[in-house]
Each structure stands twice: as C-alpha cells, then as structure tokens.
Amino acid sequence: MTEPLLQMTGITKAFGGVPALAEGNLSILAGEVHSVVGQNGAGKSTLIKILTGVYRRDGGTVRWQGREVDLRSPREAQAAGIATIYQELTLVPQRTVIENIVLGYEPKTRFGMIDWKAAEARTRAVLDRFGIDIDPHRPLGSFPTAIQQLVAIGRAASMEAKLLIMDEPTSSLDEREVGVLFGVIRALKAQGTSVLYISHFLDEIFDVCDGVTTLRDGRTVGSARVAELTKLDLIALMLGRSAEDIRRAGMTELAGSARAAGGETVLAAEGLTTGRRLRHLDLTLRAGEIVGLAGLLGSGRTEAARALFGMDRPTGGALRMGGKAVSLSNPRAAIAAGLAFLTEDRKTEGIIPDLSVRENLTLALLPRLSRMGVVDEARERRIVEGFIKAIGIKAAHMDQPIRELSGGNQQKVLLGRWLAIEPKLLILDEPTRGVDVGAKREIQAIIRQRVEQGCAVLLISSEFEELIEGAHDIVVMQDGRTTTRLSNPGVTEDQLIHAMAAGGAA
Amino acid sequence: MPGVLRQGHLSVWVALAVLILFGVLRYDNFASAYNLSSFLGYNSMFVVISVGMCLVIMTGGIDLSVGTVAALASVVAAMLSPQGLIVALPGGVAAGLLAGALNAGMIAGLRLPPFMATLATMLAAKGAALSLSDNRTVPVDWASDFTALGMNKVANLLPWTILVALVVVVFAWVVVQRTSLGRTVLAIGGNAEAAHLMGLKTRRAEVFVYLFSGACAGLAGVFLASGYGAGQPLEGAGWELAAIAAVVVGGTLLTGGMGSVPATVAGALLFGLVFNLLNFENGRGTFSLSADWQSVIRGLFLLIVILLQARLGRPALKS
C-alpha cells in the first residue's frame, strides 16, 4: 500500500497549560471514509481543528500527500485540498445555488465578467454527479437544510478537495435525507475523495465508514477497519474497557429487580415521541427518588428532557401526572406543574449574562416574589442570601453580574434558581459538567438533600460514577428509545456500559 | 450599588457635569432661570421618547416610529384642544398608544422584526398626521387651558412638561428596577432562549415596551402642540435617532439585556445641552455655525461619548 493521504503523528496541544491532546494520531487513506470517535473531552475536535488550520499544534508532525506540511490557517488547509463542511452552513442562503457553487471561483469570460453559462454548466455537473435534482436558479435558502448541506458538499467537491471533513452532518437531517447524504458520500469515495466523517451516532459510522480512529483522554487509543469491529468493541475502546469484561458483566443480572417502591409517581411518560431523536420514552419518576438517564451521546437523553419540559411538541405517546394525562405545551406550563429543568448548555439556555446573581437566581421565582407585579426586593434579598449560604455560591456580592462568576458558581446560581421554586421534579442535564471537583461535590450534596425532602430527580449524566452512586434507578437510552431500567444498589459500571451498547453487542 | 451611578453609566454623568460646568463658566446667561426653563421645556419631549426607547432597546428591539407618532399626536392634541387639556392630553397619548399597539401586534404577535414593523408604523403615522392636518400646522385653541401644560411654569422656573416627564421617568425606572415585568424586559434582551425556558411572560413584556414607547411618543406630541401652540405634522423627523443616541450614550447596549433609565435621561439632556451650548457660542459671535454644522458637531460628540464608554471598561461593549 502506498503512503496514506494524511498522516498525523504524535500531535500535542495544550490550552493554557491544560493538555487537550497528548498523543493524537490519525491516518486516512485516499478514497477512504474515516471517522474519529471519542467521548466529550477526548480531544476529537482539537485534533480536527489542528488539521483544518484553526489551531496550531504544539508538537508532532502532519504529512499530507506524502509531504510534511504546516497548515497555519483554514485558508492554507483549503488551498491544500482539505475542505470542511461545518454544522452551521457557511454559504449564502439568499443567493442562487449556482452563485453558491461558484462563489469565489467564478469562471470568467474573456472580458473578465462572470461567465454564467460556464457557471451553470459546472453547477449542473456537480448536482448530476450526486443525483440532486433541483433548480439551480433558485435561492439556496429556499431548499431544505439537507439539500443546502449537499450543495455545500458539492461545492467542496467541485473545488477538487482531496479530503472532505463533515462535522455532525446528520444532526438536522431526517432519515430519508441521511440516505441521500450517504449516497453522496459513497459517490465521493468512488471518485477517490477521502471523507473524514464525525458523528455521535455509532450506527452511522458502521453504515458509511471504512476506518475509525478512537480517542480517549487526549490520546489515540486505536485505529481499525470498521469491518473488523463490533459496535461493542468500539464502545469499549471509547470508554477504556475490554469488550470481554462488558460482555461478561452483561451476562449477570440485568433486569430491574423488585425494590421498595419510592413515593408517589410525580410524572410518567409512556411511549413519548417527538421525532427522529426521541422515538419512545418510557419513564416513571417518583417523589424522593433519583432516576439516572444514561446513554451515549445522541441517544436522545437531552431530547427526553426537552420533551418532558414542554420544549418540544410530542408527536405521540402520553405524559401523566398523578394518574391524569397532561400536556405541557411550553416551559411555563411545565414550571406551573412543578417541573424544573437545569439545562446542559449554561451559556445559551441558562444565564442572563448582564443580570446580577440575585436577578438570575430569582427569575423563575418572580411570579411568586411579586405582588401586583412589584418585586418584593427585601424578601428577594433574604431568599438569595439564604441560597448563597446554603449552596456556597462564591460571588463578591449578590448584585455582581453573573458573567463575572466562575462556571461552577454560575451553575450553582442556576441550580438555586430552580430549587427556589421548590419543584416536585427536578430535571438535571449534566449538572456537574465543566465544574471543578469541589463545586461538583457540593452540587451533588444539594441534590441529594432535596431528594430526601421528597423531590423527584431525573439526572442525565455521562459520568457512570455519578449515575451509579447517585441514582436509585438508571434508565438507559439508545437511538431515541428507553431500553433498560437498572436498579440500584448493585449496578456496576460494566453492566451499565453493556446496557448502553446492547444493540451493538446483540 | 445604587442603579443611578453604576460603573458603566458613569461616563454620561461625567460628560453632563463637565458640559454644565463649561457652560456656567463660559457664558453669562447660561445659568439663568430663562435658559434653564426653556432648556428643560424643549428637552422634556426628548426625555420622554428616550425613556420609551430605552425600554424597547433593553429587550433588544427598536422603535423607529416615535418621531412621526409624536407629530401625529401633536396634530390630534391640537385638534382636540378646544375641549381642554383634560381631553387633548389623553387624546394625544391615545394616538401614541394606538401606534404602539400596532407595533406590539406586529412584533409580539406576528413576530416581525422590530426594525421593519416600526418602520411601517413610522410611515403610516406620518401619512395619518398629514391627512388629519391637511398637510398644514394645526393651531391650538388658545382660549382653552391646553397651552398651560407647555407654557406655564412652576415657581416661574420648572415647566410643567418636565415635571410630567419626570413622572414618566420615575415610572419607567420603578418598572425596570422593581417589577417582574422589568426583569423580564432585561431577560429577553439578555438571553431570549433562557427567558423562555424560565417560563417568563416574554410576549407580555414585548407588548408592554412597545405600548409604553408609543404612549411616550404620544405624550411628547402633546408637549409639542401645547408648548409651541400648534399641531405639527412635519415635526419629529429624526427624533427616533436622537432617542436612540440618548439611549446608547446612556450605556444601554443596542443588543439589549442591560441599560439604565436615569442614564438615558442624562443622555437625552446631554444632547440637548450640546445644542444649547452651540447656540450660546453662536450668540457670542466668535463664529457662526449653521444648524447643519451643529448636527455634525452633535454627531462627533456622540462618537466621543461612546469611545469614552468603551474606554471606561465595559466588557460587553466590545463583543
């Protein structure tokens, strides 16, 4: 075999002294569809950003088409033939498909004007090649996202890219569109173009990829042909277990054993569906009980929380509170029903950056804090004071803008925001992610205390330890469905991993 | 820290103080009762529309219709003036409220971008003002008590209009500082997604700010008709920009989420003051500036204050 198209060896990168990549290796053959997998924080995106010239590497070598190269900017990477299709499209939706395909590379007539005939011919050639049948004179934005994405891919391919990087290309596509995309990927492959395919969805990797490189804790821990792997092998590699261990653990007891029933049921979902990412959610949440929700990235955990909290409209299934069917059509209705949802994404869904700690903490509580619309500020200050002490929020004073606080303290404020409304059910999506160890313990202690007081908790977490030690029951999701319910005490990590990977092992 | 002097808004107060000091030291009659009362009388219109604009901008929106809505309200008030202040004042404000309701319906109901929606209202209000007035200024009824609002002064010093404006300012300030509505206004501008997730009544807050801004514009129109004796359908052009400038100088980000009512008032007064000082300078005869050049100087001044704000270290401004 000749030398690979791309060979990255021993890549290192640190941010502010914290290593993000300790030993990144990646090798991609010509005409191969390759994937890089790893849990959050494994160093996946750092490695790819070094390849595309967004970051500079600290150490290691990059060989591209047999020569050692140093790609110092996205532009240089592009010029070398490495094109990236980003999750958010970077084309111009108001302009026509033709204009987008030739943008920046317009064919010119003898007089230096754009040769629209040649441009259209080029566009049609690209579209034909991928079997996309659309009117190229219409604005790009008038087409569905999937088509736009395909046009972006077509544009990259028409620029003679040798390697196309696709970052989570299916995140906004439906099943049929995913099929079309895979067809295009196979067509690219047939033409000798390599594709680096990044996805949280392991099934997609097994569908379309030839090779896969696994990263864990900033190191490449494996690179293999997909055909030689089972899904369980791949998961084991990502998580740092041996597949044999997981398989054996799976042989022991899996089914939920009878256990003392918790308090009364607060909320129950029966076959709740909101779309492709959440196909079937069965969940019973009882007072005084923590239910953990486990699953790989993309298994539908966050979507489950969104559906419960009235953020996504259900297309099927039922939601029951106290035995009665309810419909929570928006977050306000959910809050009124006694639900609270600490979202995973603090920045976009949580904090109001310019408001103070005090104002952020009492936002959800405002209706109860105000009389005739006027906020009882004395009472507000007392409550905030109480939470700052109880949760240990470190702020100069309660009127400090929340953006000036550390991540852990912002998270505590947000947790306080929801605790203040004394919810019956607290949904926590990765409550301790990006939070330092000390704050993490404190946050966990606060949650436990609330549960003892009778609050029901749904805990979404990627950390096995947190789930196994914290949750009474653990519900496992796969491909948008709840598949298994494990009951504590007695759940082991290997059992949990097996349940998460069960589809692949079967 | 009291809201009045929060660190980010300091520059506008400093600038205001510096200009006042400059005026007092340089011009003999600057500190006279006559100058003070005519200054406050004229600028009370800008104070109210700026305060309305401030709340709109806090939500991340904009209201371009305030100038022509004020002109429309001045016409309506002038036409109602024979019935006395008791009818003409509410009538003018109602005209403003109507325009505000139109904006609110388009923005909170139909989800049109505020820029477009209020631009449409701006044109509609101008047309309405011209057609109601038959394209002429509408003289007020001097026999009624209508002109008392704009022309009479308390203790021969403070015009009634500035006192009414003060009530509006205090109302807006209390809403922002003390009510859940005010929190919601800031939360929408700061992070609309999070505000929605928090179950806040975001639509209601949007409706409120546009109604309030419309009412403020209506009130400014009543001041105009009452203070200058006529409904003026062609007045008000560019007032929306003056109001936006006052809000920005007062430290409110155009992206919303933060801001201060008192600092906006200071911003509005600051702009009026530049104008006032230029008039004094003209009066001294050292040089003569046309109104056009005064506008250029006001623009430069706006730039300086904003640069000053950036320097005084407001991290949010850089983003």
Please determine, for the modelled complex, whether the ipTM score is greater than 0.90: no
Flag whether residue A378 sits within 8 Å of chain B, measured between CB atoms: no
Residue A244 has pLDDT above 80, yes or no: no
B198 touches chain A (CB under 8 A): yes
Considering only residues 291 to 320 of chain A, which have any Cβ-Cβ distance to chain B shorter than 8 Å? 309, 311
Distance from CA of A310 to the nearest CA of B (A): 9
- Whether B303 and chain A come into contact, CB under 8 Å, resolves to no
Cβ–Cβ gap B200/A363 under 8 Å: yes
Say if CB B61 and CB B206 are below 8 A apart: yes
Max mean pLDDT among A103-112, A346-355, B115-124, B258-267 falls in B115-124
Neighbouring CB atoms inside 10 A of A133's CB total: 8
Cα nearest neighbour of B257 on chain A = A354
Instruction: Name the region of A98 (left: φ>0; alpha: ψ -120 to 50; beta: rest).
Output: alpha
Asked if the Cβ–Cβ distance from B197 to A341 is below 8 Å, we say yes
What's the token pair of residue B183?
A: 């929190």
Check whether B8 has a pLDDT greater than 60: no
Contact (CB<8Å) A353/B190: yes
Q: Does A221 touch chain B (CB under 8 A)?
A: no
| CA B274 remoteness from chain centre | 16
CB–CB of B138/B75 below 8 Å? yes
Angle at which helices B85-104 and B66-80 cross, to 10°? 150
Tell me which chain A residues have a C-beta less than 8 angstroms from the C-beta of B190. 352-355
Closest-CA residue to A284 (of A299, A271, A275, A303): A271
Q: Which residue has the tokens 């009778």?
A: A454
CA closest to A363 among chain B residues: B198
Does B257 contact A at CB distance below 8 Å? Answer: yes
Mean pLDDT across A40-61: 87
Which numeric CATH code is attached to A6-246? Answer: 3.40.50.300
CB-CB under 8 Å, A366 with B1: no
- Count of C-beta atoms within a 10 Å radius of residue B155: 7
pLDDT computed for residue A503 by the predictor: 53
All residues of chain B having their beta carbon less than 8 Å from the beta carbon of residue A375 are: 178-180, 183
B177 → chain A, closest CA residue: A375
Band (pLDDT 50/70/90 cuts) for residue B55 is very high
Q: What is the pLDDT of residue B4?
A: 45
Mean pLDDT is lowest, of A82-96, B53-67, B239-253, for: A82-96
Is the bond into A489 cis (omega within 30 degrees of 0)?
yes
The per-residue pLDDT of chain A, averaged, comes to: 84
pLDDT tens, A427-467?
A: 999 888 767 666 777 888 888 888 888 899 999 987 777 88
Half-sphere CA count of A228, side-chain side, radius 13 A: 7
> Which band of pLDDT confidence, cut at 50, 70 and 90, is reported for residue B67?
very high
Domains of chain B: which residue ranges? 8-311
Question: Among A222-236, B78-92, B175-189, B233-247, which range has the highest average pLDDT?
Answer: B78-92
Taking residues B165-173, report their average pLDDT: 96
Is B191 in Cβ contact with A351 (below 8 Å)? yes
- Per-residue confidence (pLDDT) for residue B316, from 0 to 100: 42
The CATH classification number of B8-311 equals 1.10.3470
pLDDT at B191: 87
Of A86-100, A234-248, B165-179, give the range with the top mean pLDDT: B165-179
What's the one-letter identity of residue A494? D
Task: Verify whether the Cβ–Cβ distance A341 to B196 is below 8 Å.
Answer: no
Is any Cβ of chain B less than 8 angstroms from the Cβ of A343?
A: yes
Binning pLDDT at 50, 70 and 90, where does residue B314 land? very low
Long-range contacts of B29-38 (CB under 8 A, 24+ apart): B29/B280, B30/B277, B30/B280, B33/B156, B33/B157, B35/B276, B36/B157, B37/B153, B37/B156, B37/B157, B37/B158, B37/B159
Interchain proximity A354–B180, CB inside 8 Å: no
pLDDT category at B310 given cuts 50, 70, 90 is low
Strand, helix or coil for residue A366: helix
pLDDT in tens, A133-153: 889 999 888 887 778 888 888
Pair of tokens at residue B152: 């009479």
CB of B111 within 8 Å of a chain A CB? The answer is no
Question: What's the mean pLDDT in A273-296?
Answer: 88
Host H or E run for residue A216: strand A211-216
Q: How would you label A161-185 residue by residue, b for 16+ Cβ within 10 Å and e otherwise? A: bbbbbbbbbbeebeeebbebbbebb
C-alpha A164/C-alpha A78 separation (Å) is 10
The Cβ of residue B293 has, within 10 Å, a number of other Cβ atoms equal to 12
Mutate to test the interface with A, among B198, B252, B254 (most CBs of A within 10 A): B198
Distance from CA of B261 to the nearest CA of A (A): 15
**A167 or A6, which is more confident:** A6
Q: Is the pLDDT of residue A175 over 80?
A: no
Q: Go through B215-239 and write b for each residue having 16 or more CB atoms within 10 A of its CB, e for each that does not.
A: bbbbbbbbbbbbbbbbbbbebbeeb
Secondary structure string (H, E, C) spanning chain B: CCHHHCHHHHHHHHHHHHHHHHHHHHCCCCCCHHHHHHHHHHHHHHHHHHHHHHHHHHCCCCCCCHHHHHHHHHHHHHHHHHHCHHHHHHHHHHHHHHHHHHHHHHHHHCCCCHHHHHHHHHHHHHHHHHHHHCCCCEECCCCCCCCHHHHCEECCCEEHHHHHHHHHHHHHHHHHHHEHHHHHHHHHHHCHHHHHHCCCCHHHHHHHHHHHHHHHHHHHHHHHHHHHCEECCCCCCCHHHHHHHHHHHCCCCCCCCCCCHHHHHHHHHHHHHHHHHHHHHHHHCCCCCCHHHHHHHHHHHHHHHHHHHHHCCCHHHHC
Say whether pLDDT at B79 is over 80. yes
Q: Does B191 touch chain A (CB under 8 A)?
A: yes
Which range among A65-69, A210-214, A408-412 shows the weakest confidence by mean pLDDT? A408-412
Q: When comparing pLDDT for A478 and B51, which is higher?
A: B51
The answer to whether B179 contacts A311, with C-beta atoms less than 8 Å apart, is no
pLDDT for res B171: 96
Do A399 and A313 meet the contact criterion of CB atoms below 8 Å apart?
A: no
B309 has pLDDT over 70: no
> In the predicted model, is pLDDT for residue B208 greater than 50?
yes
Chain B residues with CB under 8 Å of A334 CB are: 199
Q: Which amino acid is at B152?
A: N
Contact at CB, B180 and A375, closer than 8 angstroms: yes
Q: What is the mean pLDDT of residues B285-299?
A: 75
pLDDT of residue A329: 87
User: What confidence score (pLDDT) does residue A88 get?
Assistant: 57
Average pLDDT, chain B: 88
Residue boundaries of the structural domains of chain A: 6-246, 263-338+423-506, 351-421
CB atoms within 10 A of CB A299: 25
Give the least confident one: A293-297, A387-391, B238-242.
A293-297
B180 touches chain A (CB under 8 A): yes
Q: What is the b/e burial string over A93-110, where b = at least 16 CB atoms within 10 angstroms of the residue's CB?
A: eeebbbbbbbeeebeeee
Contact B198 A373 (CB under 8 A): no
d(CA B217, nearest CA chain A) in Å: 24
B1 touches A: beta carbon within 8 Å: yes
Instruction: Say whether pLDDT at A342 is over 70.
Output: yes
* Residue scoring higher pLDDT (B161 or A73): B161
Question: Distance (Å, rounded) from C-alpha A397 to C-alpha B7?
Answer: 15
**B38 min Cα distance to partner chain A (Å):** 36
The CATH number assigned to the domain with range A263-338+423-506 reads: 3.40.50.300
Q: What is the per-residue pLDDT for B240?
A: 92
